[in-house]
Structure 1
């Protein structure tokens, strides 16, 4: 009876057209919400027994887990971005993010090769190294970036960005060779050392510096301007383009009447990026340089020449601004109209709302660059001679003790080199920016005897920005800032705060007024060294020991004590009156060029960041008087050991250095 009734109801429902309820298939969640190509995601929702799933409208294989979930392995060639996983035939889907992934990196003769997923030929991958953006080249199966300058040894943090998605941080350990050894001090113990807690500028070569020997020059095609420099018996020839300049150079080079001819490139100031108006910025960098408390007599009796774009009489230092000279307009009004020289000067001499290490220093303004006016090596050479009163045609009653050069260019110049030698022979300290090309040193920073300053940044952790030039000749580091980041989260980019100028409309005239701004670059690092040098001079450090004191009291940044190609002696630090005997271990290459040095402590030393796969020479010296000169009469030195180092390996020298009295004294300055 019951079976018959059930059959009758079934027949009745079928006859009336009633169907089973429709199931609402949908995808509700993807875990994890962020995944990389090749990884597996788990999808939850309501779906048929054998779901057909698409990703970017392409089918993917779904592996059921239970009635309410299945797994999908993302294709290894999946491009990063916001994705939608769909059920075939169903509107809507579940969204999740595919992030790029760095699988491996390798170093190939100056090129970083990145094996990564999440990009293809049509995407635009970007690489961040230590929070600095690097433009990568897409090649078959890999991304590449070729460094213009060695990035420095140590652990670098890499991150890949594609379609607004970022990979996890990938550490890249670039380690060179390390060297370890011992020095037998022969009873003399050195004092302990205290440890303190990019657009590339390519020269255009349109200008020549020519030194003819009492002969007339021909009229060259494309010659736009000829300027005579009687001080050097030289002329500066400016052409319309590089080809015309090169053609003239070849003709002059073959002329027996011409002593020499070189390219005389335009000077450029070494600050990177335009200024930023501060909202509530601080001078965070001075504390790390030992200038937390400003020495009230700092810089008193000292003259610093600022050879730059001129100097505006800013209230921060206008009462200590000496008469100077403008070598562009050939007059005695070196007023700044671009702001660069004023920003530099504030870091040397500010004394009111801002601080410096030398609030009593006097500034000698010298203008060699201006808005729309590009000076040259010949102009700079004249300015250098003027600064130390060595230019008879332009007497200077206030010769400089220190010369700040936050400028330079890639070209060497006989006249500029000679001017630097003259300045150094008169006892002045020359402090120059290495440049912002991300490459090797510009001139005049590259000349021997000059304190070449590279840049670091980081109010919450010191690092070297990509723009900072370094390498052979780098002497010391200071804070150049980084206006691309705000690491301390204070609402201001991590630039360097100093004095500046701005144009304002007063009535119907534009006039310049004093203001403040944030800038970045080795231009900003250089005056910090000049300011500390002025403070050291005024506190009793002799001129002859000024450079040595700056370098010997720097805070090491290279991981091991000493001097390296990336940071020089380290971060400049205001430490007046320090003069101690030290034992140095010096490393040279096969051409006898100094690569690095370190201070031996209690008879032992470790040197890192050394070039691998080449012959090196290592020698120990006792600098008994602490003046930074070794191999002097009355001091001691060891014999030389030759080593060949393997990368990423610490090599222990088999022989202990034995220091013995020097018989044939050939004094050598460590920092040269």
Structure 2
């Protein structure tokens, strides 16, 4: 994570005392393990697979993502927004598989939660994905759910998927026109930025440019499921939480921003330096520019 924090210039936020404090981020994934680095960061847990009451992760994917967003405990890993809180929804099983119906239910439950509480979930990190034109009715319901959450004030982010490099390979709900879709870079250089070969690419069937944002997603080290353990993972799933953490920092600075305003700030501050012109996206995010543009 140290190289990621350096790449996004996280110190630009930290020097201002911005650590994501007061921001609640929902992670829809395989669950969350009470890792040392996540102590005090887990605000809620809901198990849609086995209905267990206590946080757990029998796969590790969700814990890894949660660490990227907000690890800030007593261990070695420092997440992008170590002052934020995490709300884990286990919608994927130990093999990383799940039902779209469970994901939709989790999204709907989060919207309902916000209607009942003053401390609202502001960001939703989704790594569930299905290819375009697959199960159209389920895809339609998933898109409707995430777009309703967006309209209710939740910044929704989804992975572009790992089915690249061909066109039209962005997975749903990442094809939504409203939500923010994130792809993966292999290079962390500021002068050369190469899209990961596996990263899903647009345009979508509706000719929408996707993903909007690309961030490093290869060989990212974050929390493992065992206490004090760390693992290395790659994929667009690892790129999404970097942006979720960045947005948590932005919302911590100004909680009044709407999802559309957040998306506009990302667009205005995106940097395409060193990126192949054939790659259709906005670019990467540098916190120095994002916070100054804001």
Band the TM-score falls in, shorter-chain normalisation: 0.7 to 0.9
Q: Is the 8 A contact 2:157 2:180 kept in 1?
A: yes
Is 2:133 the counterpart of 1:417? no
Q: Is the 8 A contact 1:433 1:522 kept in 2?
A: yes
In structure 2, the CA distance between the partners of 1:577 and 1:371, relative to structure 1 (3 Å rule), is same
Give the secondary structure class of the aligned counterpart of 2:142.
helix
Structure 2 residue aligned with 1:446: 175
Structure 1 residue aligned with 2:8: 289
In the alignment, the residues of structure 2 paired with residue 514 and residue 283 of structure 1 have an alpha-carbon distance, to the nearest angstrom, of 17
Give the secondary structure class of the aligned counterpart of 1:330.
coil
Q: Is the 8 A contact 1:404 1:527 kept in 2?
A: yes
Structure 2 residue aligned with 1:368: 91
In structure 2, the CA distance between the partners of 1:518 and 1:309, relative to structure 1 (3 Å rule), is same
Structure 2 residue aligned with 1:530: 244
Structure 2 residue aligned with 1:383: 106
Q: Is the 8 A contact 1:343 1:500 kept in 2?
A: yes
Structure 2 residue aligned with 1:576: 291
Tell me the number of residue pairs that the alignment of Structure 1 and Structure 2 aligns. Answer: 270
Shift of 1:314: 1.4
In the alignment, the residues of structure 1 paired with residue 122 and residue 68 of structure 2 have an alpha-carbon distance, to the nearest angstrom, of 17
Give the secondary structure class of the aligned counterpart of 2:171.
coil
Q: Is the 8 A contact 1:471 1:565 kept in 2?
A: no
Give the secondary structure class of the aligned counterpart of 2:244.
helix
Could you tell me which of 556, 576, 589 is aligned with 2:272? 556
Shift of 1:297: 3.3
Is 2:217 the counterpart of 1:480? yes
Residue-by-residue CA offset, 1:453-501 (whole Å, 9 max, x unaligned): 00002245431221111112311111101xxxxxxxxxxxxx1111112
Give the secondary structure class of the aligned counterpart of 1:421.
helix
Could you tell me which of 262, 285, 290 is aligned with 1:546? 262
> More relative contact order in 1 or in 2 (CA 8 Å, sep 6+)?
2
Structure 2 residue aligned with 1:607: none
In structure 2, the CA distance between the partners of 1:378 and 1:288, relative to structure 1 (3 Å rule), is same
In structure 2, the CA distance between the partners of 1:348 and 1:565, relative to structure 1 (3 Å rule), is farther
In the alignment, the residues of structure 2 paired with residue 350 and residue 565 of structure 1 have an alpha-carbon distance, to the nearest angstrom, of 35
Could you tell me which of 117, 123, 129 is aligned with 1:408? 129
Q: Is the 8 A contact 2:155 2:179 kept in 1?
A: yes
Is 2:192 the counterpart of 1:455? no
Q: Is the 8 A contact 1:435 1:454 kept in 2?
A: yes
Runs (5+) with no aligned partner, structure 2:
204-209
Q: Which moved more, 1:339-348 or 1:569-578?
A: 569-578
Give the secondary structure class of the aligned counterpart of 1:324.
strand
In structure 2, the CA distance between the partners of 1:334 and 1:369, relative to structure 1 (3 Å rule), is farther
In the alignment, the residues of structure 2 paired with residue 541 and residue 569 of structure 1 have an alpha-carbon distance, to the nearest angstrom, of 24
Shift of 1:335: 1.6
Q: Is the 8 A contact 1:550 1:573 kept in 2?
A: no
In the alignment, the residues of structure 1 paired with residue 109 and residue 52 of structure 2 have an alpha-carbon distance, to the nearest angstrom, of 13
In structure 2, the CA distance between the partners of 1:520 and 1:372, relative to structure 1 (3 Å rule), is closer
Give the secondary structure class of the aligned counterpart of 1:501.
coil
Is 2:229 the counterpart of 1:515? yes
Q: Is the 8 A contact 1:406 1:527 kept in 2?
A: no
**If each structure's helix is expressed as a fraction of its own residues, which one has the higher value?**
2
Q: Is the 8 A contact 1:406 1:433 kept in 2?
A: yes
In the alignment, the residues of structure 1 paired with residue 252 and residue 148 of structure 2 have an alpha-carbon distance, to the nearest angstrom, of 23
Alpha-carbon RMSD = 2.4
Residue-by-residue CA offset, 1:40-99 (whole Å, 9 max, x unaligned): xxxxxxxxxxxxxxxxxxxxxxxxxxxxxxxxxxxxxxxxxxxxxxxxxxxxxxxxxxxx
In structure 2, the CA distance between the partners of 1:329 and 1:373, relative to structure 1 (3 Å rule), is farther
Runs (5+) with no aligned partner, structure 1:
1-281, 482-494, 503-512, 580-672
Shift of 1:541: 6.1
Q: Is the 8 A contact 1:283 1:497 kept in 2?
A: no
Structure 1 residue aligned with 2:152: 426
TM-score of the aligned structures, taking structure 2 as reference length: 0.84
Give the secondary structure class of the aligned counterpart of 1:462.
coil
Give the secondary structure class of the aligned counterpart of 2:88.
strand
Shift of 1:305: 0.2
Is 2:225 the counterpart of 1:501? yes
Q: Is the 8 A contact 1:338 1:371 kept in 2?
A: yes
Residue-by-residue CA offset, 1:393-446 (whole Å, 9 max, x unaligned): xx7785410000123121342221221122011110001100011141001111
Matches within 5 A, 1:183-222: none
Residue-by-residue CA offset, 1:154-184 (whole Å, 9 max, x unaligned): xxxxxxxxxxxxxxxxxxxxxxxxxxxxxxx
In the alignment, the residues of structure 1 paired with residue 88 and residue 28 of structure 2 have an alpha-carbon distance, to the nearest angstrom, of 6
Could you tell me which of 303, 324, 339 is aligned with 2:45? 324
In the alignment, the residues of structure 1 paired with residue 20 and residue 88 of structure 2 have an alpha-carbon distance, to the nearest angstrom, of 16
Q: Which structure has the larger Rg over C-alpha atoms?
A: 1
Q: Is the 8 A contact 2:188 2:216 kept in 1?
A: no
TM-score of the aligned structures, taking structure 1 as reference length: 0.38
Matches within 5 A, 1:161-310: 283-292=2-11, 295=14, 296-310=17-31
